[in-house]
Amino acid sequence: MAISTNMPVGTGMGGNIASVQRRAWLVTGMLTLFMVLNFADKAVLGLVAKPAMAELGLSPVQFGFIGSSFFFLFSLSAIVVGAVAHRFSSRSLILVLTVVWAAAQFPMLFGGATVLLATRIMLGAGEGPALPVALHATHNWFPTEDRALPSSLIAIGPTIGAAAAAPLLSLIIASPALGWRWAFGVLGIAGLIWGIAWAFIGKDGPYQAGGPANENHGVTPSATEKLRKVSLWHVFTGRAWLVATLAGFGCFWAQGAMTTWLPRYIGDVLAVAPEKVGMVYALPWTFGTLLLLLLGFLGRKLMRRGVCARWAVAALFGLALAISGLCLLALPHLSGMRAMAAMTVGWGAFLVFPMAPTAIAYAVNPQQRAVVMSALVGLASVGGVVSPAIVGWLVERAGYGLRAGDAALTAGLHDAFTLTGLILLAAGVAAIVLLDPERDCARLQRHCTIEPR
């Protein structure tokens, strides 16, 4: 059963449809900002690494453990919230998540290492469901053939968050009047402001399984709304979902290593001045932003021409991961501007991860979309649990203590980059060859559907 991408949006109700489209893009813009905050909250730990480790007396392994702690409840919360997301308003779920993020920031204005550990765990629990819930909420505003672009806009939110926030947070951290603790405080204030705005602007969309919302807005259900419910066990044991999850593991591995350790590489190995670390750290995020936009426009164009999601979304995702892996494998052998270029592409190209749950969303109907995407993100995030601590162990194994500029830090980080490059290269090749949502959709609809009661 192929997924058609030519369903009309509606007829005879042009004014109402235009209003729906305007609201759709307004909500998409707000959810993009939601994801900006999401990743700024993650990125701050790596930026405060040097002063926080010094003030709190943390070793590389201890700091890596705190970096990993962000993902301790990330998977569980993503899966649990995803499983019940279809029963609640996406607007309300997103508002609750934002309040949790903001509340997790303020204790670090005065807390120590234990508080830092506890708040990172709390933040991870609040951020675990963020991407799948945001994608699900966005998909509810667009027909099937138009989802690639808004999905990519949601996906670039994290990269914009790091690219825009990193320079600002670096200035706050370097400021004698503020310091590294106020980097957390500023993010908490920003979260509260966004939450207030969302309470007035946020709404649930009309593309929800062809139900009353569709009727009220005069839109015609698109292809995935007409898919029958299927056995989740068969979804989770299907090739497409498993490959997407394994590829996501590689992305989260790289993400965990990047947000915890890359600023140390920029400051101590590349010898960038502290106040400029954020600007250099923003380069891979900026590259990831532009790449996601490019792939979003390309995917939308291809799907409107009848190209299937396997090639318009999944294969492009895999290619980006493979390029990222190759650059990270080369990075330890480069210096100067070549190292800067390899760092930018290697730590930026894998940030297209949201394309993986977007691809899988084409295989199931909207009522199962949230739990399928959330389970994917939740299990894939295990990569982020283990990578910061393993990088810390590699750094200590190379002989690095708390001394900045030690050659052992370079050796340990280069070992970590090589390992990360191998993981991403393998994940990218697997996605190109094996990630085929249309094939799994056809299999599920033939053999694994659940009869309506």
- Over the stretch 209-227, which tens digit does the pLDDT of each residue have? 444 444 444 444 455 567 7
Mean pLDDT confidence for 44-53: 86
Residue 425 has pLDDT above 70, yes or no: yes
Cβ(274)–Cβ(174) below 8 Å:
yes
pLDDT exceeds 80 at position 394? yes
- Asked if residues 416 and 339 have their Cβ atoms less than 8 Å apart, the reply is no
pLDDT of 452 > 60? The answer is no
- State yes or no: pLDDT of 1 exceeds 70: no
pLDDT at residue 392 in the model = 86
Measured CA angle at 170 (ends 165, 172), to 5 deg: 95
pLDDT of 140-157, one tens digit each?
888 776 777 787 788 777
Could you tell me which residue, 1 or 56, shows the higher pLDDT? 56
Residue-level pLDDT at 151: 79
Tell me what pLDDT residue 224 has.
59
- Residue 241: its pLDDT value, please? 93
- Read off the pLDDT band of 316 (50, 70, 90): very high
Return phi, psi of residue 384, to 5°.
-75, -20
DSSP 8-state secondary structure symbol assigned to residue 8:
-
How many Å apart are CA 271 and CA 267, to the nearest integer?
5
pLDDT at 11: 39
Q: Is 357 exposed, middle or buried (0-12, 13-18, 19+ CB in 10 A)?
A: buried
Q: What is the 3-state secondary structure (H, E, C) of 276-324?
A: HHHHHHHHHHHHHHHHHHHHHHHHHHHHHCCCCHHHHHHHHHHHHHHHH
pLDDT digits (tens, 9 = 90+) for 83-111: 777 677 888 889 989 899 889 999 999 98
Q: Which pTM does this prediction carry?
A: 0.71
pLDDT above 90: residue 5: no
**What is the Cα–Cα distance from 219 to 373, expressed in whole angstroms?**
25
**Cβ partners under 8 Å of residue 308, min gap 6:** 2, 3, 438
pLDDT tens for 120-143 read: 999 988 888 888 888 888 888 887
Residue 389 clears pLDDT 90, i.e. is over it: no
Mean pLDDT of 363-385: 83
What pLDDT, on a 0 to 100 scale, did the predictor assign at position 215? 44
Buried b (16+ CB within 10 A) or exposed e, 5-37: bebebbeeeeeebeebeebbeebbebbbbbbbb
Per-domain boundaries in the chain: 20-447
CB atoms within 10 A of CB 337: 8
20-447 folds as Growth Hormone; Chain: A; (1.20.1250)
Name the pLDDT band for 10 (thresholds 50, 70, 90). Answer: very low
Which pLDDT score is estimated for 120?
Answer: 92
Q: How does the average pLDDT of the chain come out, rounded? A: 83
Mean pLDDT over residues 341-358, rounded? Answer: 92
pLDDT at 81 over 90: no
Say whether pLDDT at 13 is over 70. no
Q: CB count, 10 Å around CB of 451? A: 6
In this structure, how many other beta carbons lie within 10 angstroms of the beta carbon of residue 399? 12
Nearest partner of 74 among 115, 130, 114, judged by Cα: 130
Q: Is the pLDDT of residue 59 over 80?
A: yes
Among 365, 357, 356, 296, CA closest to 132: 357
Query: In the chain, pLDDT over 70 holds for what percent of residues?
Result: 88
